[in-house]
Chain A
Amino acid sequence: MSGLLTTSVGSFPKPDYLTHARSQFSLKKISRQELAELERRATAEVIRLQEDIGLDILVHGEMERGDMAAYFAEQLTESMAIGGLVRSYGNRYYHKPIITTKLRWQGPMTVEMWRYAQSLTDKPVKGMLTGPYTMVDWSFDEYYGDRVQAVLDMAAVLHEEAVELDKAGARYIQVDEPAASTRLDEMDLVSRGLSVVTQGLKAKTITHICYGDFARAVDQILTLPVDQLDIETANSGYDLLELFRHKRFDKELAMGVVDVHNHRIETLDEVVAGIHRGLEVVPPERLYIDPDCGLKTRTLDEAEAKLRVMVQAVRQVRRELGVD
């Protein structure tokens, strides 16, 4: 029996040379090709790092993406624009995209980078999409004036992208919906959007959702139309796992066992204890182990150290359980 497969949520920290190159590119001092070259180099490093750490299911690291919503908006040039800067908190600002007309898929946005990353490893690499609800919620809407129609059209666009990833051979396709917890009364819309995106795919489908008062919408969250639900649990002291205890849940669960918003590296014992909490509610063959969220907020050293302790903890628990 195999179980407790390890993975990560999506983003990795960008190396300094890439951060520098991105700013040079925005100042038009280097070409798109020069930037793309460095994105591929950084992607290769992320793949090598994950293989070295011993993860089972890899991510490409999102070296080509600045912001997970803006990246897709930049590709959808006919129906979206990149707006001005808006403050998110403190001294942090982001370019908030604008939906300018009816959304339309123009061609593959993520397949080339996925194919490149997959060519570097025998382990499966996940195809990574930002979900339709999050794309709409994190954009201004100058066209629809109707959230439902905007989300469903965005879902149709992302479905075409998912089909391309599926055809290219991606075994896992993850559709992130971090905005899903913003309005729990719209969880049905999140679900409708995801069902459009994931319809008919051969790949195993995953959605990652972030913090929120999930208890209020637990039935809808547990039945989202994907094969695997990926949630952060370490940063809530694993309280979120209690939602699964008395509910019927036959999907796979990926649980976060290291906090991505904290510099401190978790101890082996803490992570082992966390995995045991997960095993109380989901059996090992359906339980995946990963960090709480994307690692791009950490330094490369912190990200590596957190992943190493995670893999070490999983190996220990696998030995205890006699699982491969």
Chain B
Amino acid sequence: MLTTVVGSYPKIPNRPRPPRLRSAIARFERGEIGADELRRVEDQVTVEVIQEQAEAGLDIITDGQIRWEDDQTYFVRRMDGFSIDGLIRYFDTNTYYRQPVVEGPVRWREAVAVGDYEFAAVQSPVPVKALVTGPYTLAALSANHDYGSLRELALALAAELRHEVLALERAGAPIIQVNEPAILQQKEDFPIARQALQVMMEGVRTEAHLYTWFGDIDGLYPQILELPFAAIGLDFVKAPANWDVIARAPFTKKLGLGIIDARNTKLESVEQIVSAVRRACAIIPADMLYVNPSCGLEYLPRETAEAKLRRMVEGVQQAQGVPA
């Protein structure tokens, strides 16, 4: 049983620690510092959040997505075929992203997150997983002004994002995680997502994970197990229904067990975590479990996120009978 995160980590700490990245971005926007200096601060903050995650005791971490504006913009601004429009609410959160607009044929132009992965891998004492926003979610959250249908757009994005996956594989990422939260909101589109993910992952040998959040997979189970991934990540906080759904058929893959509420500051007790882990172990062997928060941690203040990760590790250790 391993502990990990879903993706994002809060970018700035609270007082008295200085909000270095926020200040640097503001100075960059005012033209007071250049791109190199901003990059240097992003590097420093990335190193800091890598250390925080490792010190919390996680087995596998991410780079915290410190450089990402949001899951969509970070990819589309490095691809051809997109413009970036106004702010739009991200699912039912109070967080906003800029809506991508598909203006022409989409094309992967250059590596998006490969350099970030390489930087993080060198800095981190524990394995780092690489993150890719999935083709279905990217298509569903964009305004499509060019392709004839959502399916056509999702398949085109899959063929292009495949270059990113292959580049991450060449860079040696031990795990490539593809995020597809949007499929839980439009389940009738599952055949589109399946076809797109098959195109994107064909022949990929690296361990690949598919993560979802903010919803349940009722109606997609057990078909979701046919997708070309070694692990499926599910949100059991926003969607406790997932417990019953996965009990309906053997869960034949590894499970990303999202049991720590990454959208509320209330700290889980060790007992709650132990009980959730044991419940999962009744369905899936312990060595097939990744225990993680319910979604990215950016919905929490930095210090709360860190405390929750420490508590999660404590709970998992206790569930495994490791003395504190």
A214 to B299, CA, bound (A): 26
Hey, what's the 0/1 contact readout for B86-102 against A, CB within 8 Å counting as 1?
Answer: 11010010111110000
Residue of B nearest to A261 (CB): B86
Residue B220 CB within 8 A of the other chain: no
Size range of the interface on A?
20 to 34
Find out whether the CB atom of A138 lies under 8 angstroms from the CB atom of B94.
Answer: yes
A90 to B96, CA, bound (A): 8
Residue B37 CB within 8 A of the other chain: no
Query: Which residues of chain B from 289 to 310 have any CB-CB distance to chain A below 8 Å in the complex?
Result: 298-304
In the assembled complex, how far is the CB of residue B87 from the closest CB belonging to chain A, in whole angstroms?
6
Q: Interface stretch among B19-27, B124-132, B251-259? A: B19-27
What are 6 A-B contacts defined by CB distance under 8 Å?
A84-B300, A85-B19, A85-B301, A87-B95, A98-B265, A140-B266
Find out whether the CB atom of A85 lies under 8 angstroms from the CB atom of B12.
Answer: yes
Find out whether the CB atom of B301 lies under 8 angstroms from the CB atom of A87.
Answer: no
Q: Which of B26, B298, B302 contacts A91, CB < 8 Å?
A: B26
For A86, what are the chain B residues with a Cβ–Cβ distance below 8 Å? 10, 298-301
Find out whether the CB atom of A88 lies under 8 angstroms from the CB atom of B11.
Answer: no
Residue A89 CB within 8 A of the other chain: yes
Hey, what's the 0/1 contact readout for A72-98 against B, CB within 8 Å counting as 1?
Answer: 000000000001111111110100101
A56 to B266, CA, bound (A): 46
A90 to B68, CA, bound (A): 9
Residue B70 CB within 8 A of the other chain: yes
A142 to B300, CA, bound (A): 13
Hey, what's the 0/1 contact readout for A129-171 against B, CB within 8 Å counting as 1?
Answer: 0000000011011100100000000000000000000000000
Hey, what's the 0/1 contact readout for A249-276 against B, CB within 8 Å counting as 1?
Answer: 0000000000001000000000000000
Hey, what's the 0/1 contact readout for B152-167 against A, CB within 8 Å counting as 1?
Answer: 0000000000000000
Find out whether the CB atom of A84 lies under 8 angstroms from the CB atom of B22.
Answer: no
Give me the 9 closest cross-chain CB pairs, A-B, nearest first: A84-B301, A89-B96, A142-B266, A84-B14, A140-B265, A91-B25, A182-B92, A140-B264, A183-B92
Residue B271 CB within 8 A of the other chain: no
Hey, what's the 0/1 contact readout for A183-219 against B, CB within 8 Å counting as 1?
Answer: 1000000000000000000000000000000000000
Residue of B12, B19, B89, B265 contacting most chain A CB atoms (<10 Å): B265
Find out whether the CB atom of B10 lies under 8 angstroms from the CB atom of A83.
Answer: no
Q: Which of B25, B95, B264 contacts A142, CB < 8 Å?
A: B264
Residue A179 CB within 8 A of the other chain: yes
Find out whether the CB atom of B298 lies under 8 angstroms from the CB atom of A87.
Answer: yes
For A88, what are the chain B residues with a Cβ–Cβ distance below 8 Å? 94-96
Find out whether the CB atom of B264 lies under 8 angstroms from the CB atom of A141.
Answer: yes
In the assembled complex, how far is the CB of residue B209 from the closest CB belonging to chain A, in whole angstroms?
25
Residue of B69, B70, B94, B301 contacting most chain A CB atoms (<10 Å): B94
For B98, what are the chain A residues with a Cβ–Cβ distance below 8 Å? 89-90
Size range of the interface on B?
20 to 34
Find out whether the CB atom of A182 lies under 8 angstroms from the CB atom of B264.
Answer: no
Residue B29 CB within 8 A of the other chain: yes
A143 to B89, CA, bound (A): 26
Find out whether the CB atom of A89 lies under 8 angstroms from the CB atom of B302.
Answer: no
Interface residues of B (CB under 8 A from A): 10-12, 14, 19, 22, 25-26, 29, 69-70, 86-87, 89, 92, 94-98, 264-266, 298-304
For A261, what are the chain B residues with a Cβ–Cβ distance below 8 Å? 86
In the assembled complex, how far is the CB of residue B274 from the closest CB belonging to chain A, in whole angstroms?
19
Residue of A nearest to B89 (CB): A182
A142 to B261, CA, bound (A): 11
Q: Which of B87, B96, B301, B302 contacts A96, CB < 8 Å?
A: B301
For B97, what are the chain A residues with a Cβ–Cβ distance below 8 Å? 89
A91 to B96, CA, bound (A): 11
Residue of A85, A142, A261 contacting most chain B CB atoms (<10 Å): A85
In the assembled complex, how far is the CB of residue A151 from the closest CB belonging to chain B, in whole angstroms?
15
Q: Which of B70, B89, B301 contacts A83, CB < 8 Å?
A: B301
Residue of B nearest to A212 (CB): B89
For A85, what are the chain B residues with a Cβ–Cβ distance below 8 Å? 12, 14, 19, 301-302
Find out whether the CB atom of B266 lies under 8 angstroms from the CB atom of A87.
Answer: no
A137 to B264, CA, bound (A): 11
For B96, what are the chain A residues with a Cβ–Cβ distance below 8 Å? 88-89
A91 to B25, CA, bound (A): 7
- A84 and B264 in contact, given A89-B96, A137-B94 (Cβ under 8 angstroms): no
Residue of A nearest to B301 (CB): A84
In the assembled complex, how far is the CB of residue A172 from the closest CB belonging to chain B, in whole angstroms?
27
A138 to B302, CA, bound (A): 18
A-B contact sample (11 more), CB < 8 A, given A88-B95, A89-B87: A83-B301, A83-B304, A86-B10, A87-B11, A91-B22, A93-B12, A93-B19, A98-B265, A140-B265, A182-B89, A183-B92
Residue of B nearest to A183 (CB): B92
In the assembled complex, how far is the CB of residue A82 from the closest CB belonging to chain B, in whole angstroms?
11
A183 to B185, CA, bound (A): 12
In the assembled complex, how far is the CB of residue B123 from the closest CB belonging to chain A, in whole angstroms?
23
Query: Which residues of chain A from 97 to 154 have any CB-CB distance to chain B below 8 Å in the complex?
Result: 98, 137-138, 140-142, 145
- A141 and B25 in contact, given A86-B300, A179-B94, A182-B89 (Cβ under 8 angstroms): no
For B14, what are the chain A residues with a Cβ–Cβ distance below 8 Å? 84-85
For B86, what are the chain A residues with a Cβ–Cβ distance below 8 Å? 261
A179 to B93, CA, bound (A): 10
A260 to B14, CA, bound (A): 31
Find out whether the CB atom of A84 lies under 8 angstroms from the CB atom of B302.
Answer: yes
A18 to B14, CA, bound (A): 24
